[in-house]
Amino acid sequence: MSHPAVQTDRRGPVRRALGALRPRRGTRQPHTAAGRIRRLRRRIALLFALTSAAGFIALAVFAVHNDGSTWRGQVDQSLNLRTSQAVIQLTYTGDEPDAADLVETMDTDCPPLHLLVLREDGLRALDTLRRPCVSARPADVREAATRAIDRAEVTARDSRARDGRPVRLVAEPYISPSSEEADSAVVAVADTSEQHRDHDRLTWGLTGACAALVLVSALIGRLLAGQAIRPALRALDQQEAFLADAAHDLRTPAASLSSLAETALRGETDPADVLRRSLRLARRMGALVDGLLTRARLMAGVGVVEHRPLRLDQLAETVVELVEPSAGDPAAGAHQVTVDAAPTVVEGDAELLRRAVANLLGNALAHGHAPGEPAEVRLTVTPDGTLTVDDAGPGLPPGLDSALFDRHRSTTGSTGLGLSIASWVAHAHGGTLTAGPSPTGGARFVLRIPARKGRGRKETGE
């Protein structure tokens, strides 16, 4: 009876956790931190667009309302002037108003003037029009006059002419000689087609402008939200890279230490040898952790790079004096390091530059010689802020000069963090780190830090 093959995950717990954090192709990861940050970006952009839209719409509504009120007020003022002149020029024959003088002295046809008198049987219109330029509907004229008489004040309203054109009606009440209250009204009518067309053009123009501005604000909001969350995404990427580096770099020494402990427990190895190898692995793991933390701080920008005057030549000599031979290397005690340092003043962070120089020197001592043979390293410092490390080893493989400074890029099985940290330190100081062939036949690493200018010989100690 055959059983299905069971695949086991041979990865360590850290790598398995990192694998779970990475989004798989074709799948959505809504619950990851990066997914939540991206959703926050969309919400910020949407909120920015909605806020902008509310502001633009409010301004557009205000502008449209103000335009409508303005042109209606102008029309009403013009029509009210006409009705007031008509009321003044009315004459009476007994109790009846006589519109003959009004027709002779005023143009009652355009804008049309309607004279309505309240009688027992209701409002009665006096025919004062011959050929009005706007034929208002009689029912609307009567309604406007009735409202003005009832309220005893000038009233205005929008309406439609008989041909469908928009019109404006203004009614002014007045009191006849035989009455104590308003019993008559003069109604003026004006064609407002042109004003309505202008108002509609303004409305559509503002609508289009608001739509365009909302679209632009949405794009700007998206860009601003993207810039706002970019540091958070960068921090997440740096955290994931740090975890990946830690898992990658510590797996081998941890496994070696575990295997060494198991061998010691079984009594298959000399205890002194176990202690020496354990010490070597512990130092290696400590150096790895130190390098990882330094790289993480540099990438995250949490450490401030100080720019203070310092002697690069003295710093290099101190690094050479403090360098420790590699444990387990029989030729480590015979390594030769020659220093040729001219007095050089640069501005930088002493701790970071010391680490960069130590990494370059350690790389030359570790890989710049044949197995079992002592290394010959030459360290040179020139007054222009250039520090050169030459070794007599096998040299660099073709085409890997710049790739050596990427993390995890090494041709000898090391982690590659030392050179990458040295490169980051150089760039943090406005300098460069390059690699190439050495005249001695090995590799040459050139660290350039801008020298301090405008200072005298006193600072260089000459």
Give the least confident one: 115-124, 212-221, 399-408: 399-408
pTM beyond cutoff 0.95: no
In order of 49, 53, 57, 217, 300, the CA distances from 46 in angstroms are 5, 10, 16, 10, 29
For the residues of 394-458, what is the DSSP string, one character each? S-PPTT-TTGGGSTT--SSSS--HHHHHHHHHHHHTT-EEEEEE-TTSSEEEEEE-PBP-S--HH
With cut-offs at 50, 70 and 90, classify the pLDDT of residue 304. Answer: low
Q: Once rounded to an integer, what is the mean pLDDT over residues 320-336?
A: 63
Q: Once rounded to an integer, what is the mean pLDDT over residues 264-280?
A: 78
With cut-offs at 50, 70 and 90, classify the pLDDT of residue 390. Answer: very high
Is pLDDT of 315 > 70? Answer: yes
pLDDT tens digit sequence for 406-455: 654 444 444 456 788 788 889 888 899 998 888 888 889 999 999 876 54
Quote the pLDDT of residue 328: 45
Q: Answer whether 337's CB lies under 8 Å from 360's CB.
A: no
What distance in Å separates the CA atoms of residue 181 and residue 298, rounded to the nearest whole number? 92
Q: What is the phi/psi pair of residue 178, to 5°? A: -95, 10
pLDDT tens digit sequence for 27-81: 444 567 777 888 888 888 888 888 988 999 999 999 999 999 999 999 999 999 9
> Around Cβ 358, how many Cβ atoms within 10 Å?
20
Quote the pLDDT of residue 458: 42
Quote the pLDDT of residue 34: 76
Is pLDDT of 204 > 90? Answer: yes
